[in-house]
Chain A
Amino acid sequence: DAGVIQSPRHEVTEMGQEVTLRCKPISGHNSLFWYRQTMMRGLELLIYFNNNVPIDDSGMPEDRFSAKMPNASFSTLKIQPSEPRDSAVYFCASRLTVADTQYFGPGTRLTVL
């Protein structure tokens, strides 16, 4: 079992650029979650999907952030345009069923200069 796969592992970009983070959930898992972790705010849920459908995006900070899940094995989190305050580690997690626990990927460390 490869676990949750995220790419890239590190991303450095300049303010104003578009950033796309990618996630491949564990095969067969029905739910996918995007989190952001910073020193100031800790780990925060941004959005989660059930069966590829966004269920709760109340944690998405603003319209610059968008997430998609075109199929059961792939999701993207896009930031356009990026700002220095978006610098954080972004984690993706997946879950088999509603009764199951979440399993996290290794994260993407984003630095916006």
Chain B
Amino acid sequence: DAKTTQPPSMDCAEGRAANLPCNHSTISGNEYVYWYRQIHSQGPQYIIHGLKNNETNEMASLIITEDRKSSTLILPHATLRDTAVYYCIAGGGGANNLFFGTGTRLTVIP
């Protein structure tokens, strides 16, 4: 599975959009980009995933560059409850082994 690189931490003002970047320059053609988040000590929560098209669901939007070497997770209106560690994972469809890495700790500030 391709390795991903994320900034260790980010701050975002409450109500503003949070844009979390991820680099996956070694991603192969059949590997997806998955995003999960982990709030405090809870189990990781699935957010969204995509292959090459941009995706949107009720939680977030995923923007993948045309060369697929990087992506951005967008939380359109961050709330205090979005404070969490966000993990970007690149792997095969189904991703048997989700290599979580260290993620980005997002802090939403009132």
Contacts and interface: CB of A to CB of B under 8 A. Distances in A.
Interface of A: 4, 31, 33, 42-43, 45, 48, 55-56, 59, 89, 91, 93, 95, 97-107, 109
27 contacts: A33-B96, A42-B100, A42-B102, A43-B44, A43-B98, A48-B96, A48-B97, A56-B96, A91-B43, A91-B44, A93-B43, A93-B44, A97-B94, A98-B94, A99-B93, A99-B94, A100-B94, A101-B34, A101-B46, A101-B95, A102-B95, A102-B98, A103-B46, A104-B43, A106-B42, A106-B43, A107-B41
A103 B45 CA distance: 7
Given A98-B93, A101-B49, A107 B42 contact: yes
Contacts of A104: 43-45
A102 B43 CA distance: 11
> What band does the interface of chain B fall in when counting residues whose beta carbon is under 8 Å from A?
10 to 19
Q: Describe B's contact surface by its main secondary structure.
A: loop
B76 interface: no
Interface in B44-73: 44-46, 49
